[in-house]
Amino acid sequence: MCEPIKWVENKMPKTEDKELQVMKLDEIEKARAFHRSFPEYSETPLAKLDHMASFLGLKEVYVKDESYRFGLNAFKVLGGSYAMARYIAQKTGKDVSELPFSVLSSDELRKEFGQATFFTATDGNHGRGVAWSANKLKQKAVVLMPKGTTKTRLLNIQKENATVTIEDANYDECVRMAAAAAEKTKNGVMVQDTAWDGYEEIPSWIMQGYGTMAMEADEQLKEYGCRRPTHVFVQAGVGSLAGAVTGYFMNRYPENPPTVVVVEAEAAACLYKGALAGDGKIRIVDGDMETIMAGLACGEPNTISWDILKNHVRVFTSCPDWVSAKGMRMLSAPIKGDPQVVSGESGAVSMGLLSSIMKSDELRGLKEALGLNSDSRVLMFSTEGDTDPDRYKSIVWDAEKCL
């Protein structure tokens, strides 16, 4: 018997919503202009799953496929690269609009700015994005990875000329270790996609970088004839992506926003636990947080995102590993006529959840709470491809019953 999916409607008290301005549309336009300056930039595909939508009893289902992002197989580079650009712009007294890739990577800029060492902690994708960006911009990167990290993810970061280690610690402890090392290093800078009291500026830039993906998807929906999504499913680790996506769509459609569902790994469901408590305070998950969804194995919420999420999310969910594995299989072997999406463990959990909601009697209450029906237009984000190809194959090809 597989473990159940848990969910809770958001009944937390609302705040002044001051963090929503982080994801203002003009800020996202600025981030997207920066990303467009990279030679590697192109919009990632938005897969329209017509036959899947019909099978599930929905009007439309869309999946943003981030496996094509900058050749890095994941979306995270959007945040790290933009935060680094904003930091360099700040230190050189410029606006980031004056620092496209051609300028940032120039010898002239390096002479003016010098060289920094960008520190970060990662389960894989964020660290690879930071390392790749630092390499491109002729800067240094130091990356700490938690215990249990696979060799493939380690090697992917090493290829970008970064200093990288696997520590005997979980993700959140690695964050603290990286921050401490950055403070002790000359020109050391912490570039982390989570925020805490006293560390908010760089995380807000990272979230704005993620906004490029949301803005692309929004425009691509229009090209398909979809005026706006009725529902958005988005994964959460520390919540930076979830806060960025939620913040974008709330600013984009303030009069008629989509219903947002946050999707977490059960082993690290800190946002779900906070919503379940109902008082609006942050809850922390500790320990090893063992899950196949390595990118979501984060137990301490981003304070900026948490404020956005508790004001605007409809439902928070906690998903066992089998939900992700189900989503991976469904996207890898689509109904005939639909495009395939190669989606990794942290990228496919929303698909597994959506299908379970629509097809399981046990989740009828959740389906009704969300108002999912034949008029629903659902948008999801496959945030990574097969970033660990061997693990991807073992799950999709050789999985056991509850995986």
Rounded-to-integer distance, Cα 204 and Cα 92, Å = 19
* Residue 96 to residue 171: CA distance in whole angstroms: 30
Which of 263, 276, 277 is CA-nearest to residue 356? 263
Among residues 116, 302, 282, which one has the least CA distance to residue 199? 302
The residue to which tokens 């848990």 are assigned: 6
Q: Beta strand 60-65 with 117-121: parallel, antiparallel or unpaired?
A: unpaired
> 48, 64, 76, 136: which is the annotated catalytic residue?
76
- Which position among 64, 65, 123, 140 bears the catalytic label? 123
- 24 flagged as catalytic: no
Active site residue 286: no
Nearest to 52, CA basis, from 331, 360, 372, 376: 331
Can you name the residues that pair with 263 across neighbouring β-strands? 235, 317
Strands across the sheet containing 259-265 = 6-9, 315-319, 259-265, 231-235, 377-382, 60-65, 46-48
Cβ-Cβ contacts under 8 Å for 62 (sequence gap 6 or more):
46, 47, 48, 49, 217, 220, 221, 224, 226, 229, 377, 378, 379, 380
Q: 4 CB contacts (<8 Å, ≥6 apart)?
A: 320, 362
The residues annotated with a catalytic role in the active site are 76, 123
